[in-house]
Structure 1
Amino acid sequence: MFDGRIGKPALATLLRETRLPKLDWSRVGGEFVAVVRQGGRAFLFGDFFAAFQLFHDQEQRFFSTSLLAALQVLPRVRFDAQGVYEHAFNVVPVGDDTPFVELKTLGPKWVLELTADGVTRRATTKPLPDRPTREPLNDRLVTHAERLHEAVAPFVVTYGDRIQCPLSGGLDSRLLLAALRAAGSTPSLYVYGPEGSADVRIGRAIGAAEGFDVAWIDKQAATITPDAFPAQVEANFHQFDGLPTFGNIFDNGGHAAAQVLRHAGGALAASGGCGEVYRDFFLLPDRPLTASTLARSFFARFTSRDVTDRFDGSAFVARIADKIADALALPDAHTRMSRTHAEQAYPRVRCRALFGREISLEAQHGAYSMPFLDHRVVATALTLPMSAKHAGAFEARLLAAIDPALARHGSAYGHDFAGPPSLRHRFDEWSSRIRPTWVRQHSYAVQRRLRPMGDEHGGLLSPEYMDRVIDPQFPAMRRYFEMAAITDSGLWRRIACLEYLTNRLGSRLEA
């Protein structure tokens, strides 16, 4: 997006109004990778947060938006232990890293010029607020509503009602729907989940009460035989470019079918991802923090039982802390920063990694909009005091200001969004914020000792299915993990996805 225009009109305006490598980021939006030829010079750059992934080799001799294509170009690849462990424990590697030594992703700090002699890197600055502002609540609501409108309006102008929008029991999808309706769109709505789940029950109840259809899609409902499983996994593997978020290639094809359906007829798929810019994502105290505190509190989701002696827990967390510090332009991981500055780690680090992978995969099928990741929306959200973010209090007020009818319905939190959050919701968040960092760091390991764990992404993970697509001895991943000890099905599935990728790489993968 450029000056509120999308696609070719945006590019035409950019070519007319801009002299690369300089970019006025206040005029640039969306998630993308652009190759621009201007005045006999060629430039390559991505969006504000570098969310849309652009893979390249260490020497920056080639670039690709596809992980599998990039791996095909390289004659030899090696696993990077840090990247492997980050993918397994935290769903995706953060920063510029991938699970492979030879592959990186282009970071947000650079506009590249492609020349006959190679790549020249040009630095670009992208500041965000590091202090909250003082502003009356009603003024804040007006400002935030306007900013959100500016983020969605260009899509509504271009796609009208040809927009696919989720509606669940949460807050973010409802605020997304409110913003689209306020901009003049009547999108097609859907909800994912098994019958009777809170999301399905609440989403469909809202539709019934407000007079619009909400399509119910149960991605796990269709059956598939073990004999048909290998072909389905291979199709999933290619559709999701080898390593999707959460590693969920081992299913009945429901996830892949839902992705295609979101773009049917050339529709725009809209997402409420990154909506937690309005909330306290990390649930940490409202005081100065360090990158090390963030890493230890949120990214230490491992237990020593699951890993071989290749893993060093302290070094693993320290490396993530260093990447957070770099993303937030801190001298080191132990430099204290304001609480608002620490909030930048959500869009700059977590959203870039997790939602960036999602955005990149969706783009194979059509346009994808994530308005809450628009850097102008993010910048405005960062001016909120932390007290306004607790239990989604401000986000609910914003929803009620934009669309009171949607706000009045109940939610998965046990309360509606027309009034303040419930005491239970506030207590649950408060009990997390008061936990010391050392407790947060070890909470996952403690939970694993108490019971098996899993996630909502499921999959057909029983031996009758999985033994047909990977070696149950995990010959590649057992160098990194003690597979027999793993009782977290989500972790197991992500490791299995790496094992499957290993098989596809064959002899080009060096041990």
Structure 2
Amino acid sequence: MGGFILAKRENGADSKNDSALLNDALAVFSKKGLALNKKLVTRDFVIYVYHKYKFKIENVVNFDNDQFIISTGTLIYKEKSGGDALRNLFHDFSENGEFFKNTYGQYCLIIFKQGKLYLFNDALGVYPLYLNKPANIISSSFLATLKTLKKKTIAHQELYEYLINETFYGYKTMVAEIDQIDSRHILQLSPEPALIPRKPQNTRLNRNSSFDEMVKEVSNNLIEYFKIVKTAFDNEICAALSSGLDTRLMLALMRKVGIKPELYVHGKKDSSDVRVSEAITKGEGLELKVENPDDYPRNDERDFRKLVEMNYYWLDGLGEEYGAFLTGFDMDTYFKRLERARLHIQGSGGEAFRNRLMLPDKSYDILSVIRAHYDKYSSSLFTDIFNKKEYLSALVNKSKFLFDNKCKNIDRQSIEMIYNFFHLKHHIANIAKINNQFSYSLYPFTEMSITSQSLDIPIRYKDYGVFEAALINYIDPALAQYYSIQYGYKYSEYKNIPFTKKLRYLARIHSPIILRPIIRRNYWKRDQFGRDKFPYYLESRYLKQVFPNDDLTISRYINIDKITKYTMMSRALSAELVMNDML
């Protein structure tokens, strides 16, 4: 379940013209350390399916008459994973989509049944799939798809989206010749191409329900989901803990259904995440692994190019927030977790239960919503190629697939759709894709049956993190008793938010949208990751190992000397690698 490449054949034979490019794409998986499981051939396509890095799990099942089913990512079907899930799903599969009601996870499925070849991913598209513009390659890997191109054109909009927001939005990428597959359909690839509409599997709430009724209904829905996870993976699960709401909600749910996860916290010893996590685990008699980056030795500059190349392939070229320019700490600690668990379960997406866009409960025009969240940097950071008005307008147009394209003003519930189905989906997709190469990796709060419920929760319930705190208190009152440094209250006391916290929150919520970019930039000037605190491996003596020449292509798009965030610098350098396909 580590990944795949699906290549189109010409007249029942493999394309000789593109064989060298296909070989380059296959080599990407080899450099990721993923072993080929099976090569399957139909009249129109050849499919290469790879194991995960850590586990050789049954991800291809063959049936009579050359029929088969393939899964990559993390799939749960009828409370089963692996081969059992695939056999059951193949039997139940039909174009009417009834099987989706028993399907969970972030995955891709490829099914050859009764002479037809189908391909689709999870409903939200958190497990991304890539299609090259000749339309002869589909893959789970952006980097492998990149290797199949004879021509590469930089898409300016998507490049700036990646530099500014860590990801691409909509169904495009920073390479114009690579698109992302639309998760709203089942793709029929042969004998003739067709798009089969996907029936939504939404679970909605009664918006007139009381606060307590909603807390109970959402909690029960979450508990039922985690029971399914428990049946599929038992206790072979690891999970993060932090000072925030999302990881504690996950721990509450796991304890409720009897999962005993391997817990870890990522951070320096004096960080709020470590302090709160240690208090919780000590108080509840749980074991905790502290992953402290200060304990990791400095990399030798002579080995840095090799490290970047390894990151480049493991992180599929662009990585996520930190790009491909990292120490070996993150990957080393990740692999150590896999020695203790098959499933890595993540709390990303829990913010759907909060007012994450930090806007008052009223209608807005779409441009104002986009500007409030995505207008982050002064245009002076970029070269003349960047046009902020056009950049924001493109984001507005990309988000309109959620609404009537003629719609200008949207209500507060629709604004939440922008966050859940537009922003959140793409941000989690980067890390979901990466993690699923190595092990099972699950993001419960992005399940359509869960995230769709969050749309019906009134904003007044979400403010201050109250609704999510109430979920924790309802599911596991003992966990709710621990003070949160991040939120400034015990989650058990969500009805009595401190006045100073309320005041600070309300000031932020009601700050004028036109002033938010200025406020945000001034806040970032005080950020601990300022220019004078770039990590050592972004010093010139390290970067010279990767870029011997100072003439960087990325300088045509952004003024490198004006970058003050080290995460953006890492992304800019990662984009440079992709632009020139250097490694």
What CA deviation, in whole Å up to 9, does each residue of 1:274-296 have, x standing for no partner?
Answer: 01011001011111223322211
Does residue 477 in structure 1 map to residue 551 in structure 2? no
What CA deviation, in whole Å up to 9, does each residue of 1:88-112 have, x standing for no partner?
Answer: 0011111112111001111222211
What CA deviation, in whole Å up to 9, does each residue of 1:94-150 have, x standing for no partner?
Answer: 111211100111122221101145x32223243768996111333222211111112
Compare 149-158 and 371-380 and name the one that shifted more.
Answer: 149-158
What CA deviation, in whole Å up to 9, does each residue of 1:208-258 have, x standing for no partner?
Answer: 111111110023531211112221111111111111111342222011112
Residues of 2 paired with 1:439 and 1:368: CA distance? 39
Compare 472-481 and 165-174 and name the one that shifted more.
Answer: 472-481
Compare 454-463 and 165-174 and name the one that shifted more.
Answer: 454-463
How far does residue 3 in structure 1 lie from its aligned partner after superposition?
3.7
Find the counterpart in structure 1 of residue 256 from structure 2.
Answer: 182
**CA contact under 8 A between 1:49 and 1:352: conserved in structure 2?**
yes
Which among 71, 90, 101 is matched to residue 165 of structure 2?
90
Structure 1 segments of 4 or more deviating over 4 A?
127-132, 445-459
Gaps of 5+ in 2: 1-75
Q: Which has the larger radius of gyration?
A: 2
SS in 2 for 1:36: strand
Q: What is the letter of the counterpart of residue 69 of structure 1?
A: A
Does residue 366 in structure 1 map to residue 439 in structure 2? yes
Find the counterpart in structure 1 of residue 475 from structure 2.
Answer: 402
Which among 475, 482, 501 is matched to residue 425 of structure 1?
501
How far does residue 52 in structure 1 lie from its aligned partner after superposition?
0.2
Does residue 440 in structure 1 map to residue 513 in structure 2? no
Does residue 69 in structure 1 map to residue 144 in structure 2? yes
Find the counterpart in structure 1 of residue 577 from structure 2.
Answer: 500
Which among 150, 161, 184 is matched to residue 235 of structure 2?
161
Does residue 339 in structure 1 map to residue 405 in structure 2? no
Find the counterpart in structure 2 of residue 142 from structure 1.
Answer: 216
**CA contact under 8 A between 2:226 and 2:257: conserved in structure 1?**
yes
Greater RCO between the two (CA within 8 Å, min separation 6)?
Answer: 1
Q: For residues 443 and 348 of structure 1, do their structure 2 counterparts lie closer, same or farther at Cα, with a shift above 3 Å needed?
A: same
Q: What is the letter of the counterpart of residue 379 of structure 1?
A: S
Find the counterpart in structure 1 of residue 3 from structure 2.
Answer: none
How far does residue 454 in structure 1 lie from its aligned partner after superposition?
4.9
Find the counterpart in structure 2 of residue 509 from structure 1.
Answer: none
May I ask how many residue pairs the two structures share in their alignment?
Answer: 503
How far does residue 26 in structure 1 lie from its aligned partner after superposition?
3.4
What CA deviation, in whole Å up to 9, does each residue of 1:187-224 have, x standing for no partner?
Answer: 11000011201101111111111111111002353121
Find the counterpart in structure 1 of residue 105 from structure 2.
Answer: 30
The aligned runs of 1:72-471 (5 Å cut-off) are: 72-117=147-192, 119-126=193-200, 133-222=207-296, 223-326=298-401, 328-332=402-406, 335-412=408-485, 413-420=487-494, 421-447=497-523, 454=530, 460-471=537-548
Q: For residues 23 and 130 of structure 1, do their structure 2 counterparts lie closer, same or farther at Cα, with a shift above 3 Å needed?
A: closer
Compare 273-282 and 120-129 and name the one that shifted more.
Answer: 120-129
What CA deviation, in whole Å up to 9, does each residue of 1:322-359 have, x standing for no partner?
Answer: 11111x13314x52222112101222111211101111
SS in 2 for 1:33: strand
SS in 2 for 1:30: strand
Compare 59-68 and 169-178 and name the one that shifted more.
Answer: 59-68
Residues of 1 paired with 2:548 and 2:404: CA distance? 44
- TM-score, with length taken from structure 2: 0.81
Measured on the aligned residues, the alpha-carbon RMSD in Å equals: 2.4
How far does residue 446 in structure 1 lie from its aligned partner after superposition?
4.7
Aligned-residue sequence identity (percent) comes to 22
SS in 2 for 1:207: helix
Residues of 2 paired with 1:494 and 1:208: CA distance? 38
What CA deviation, in whole Å up to 9, does each residue of 1:390-413 have, x standing for no partner?
Answer: 011011111011111111011122
How far does residue 163 in structure 1 lie from its aligned partner after superposition?
0.7
Structure with the higher fraction of residues in strand conformation? 2
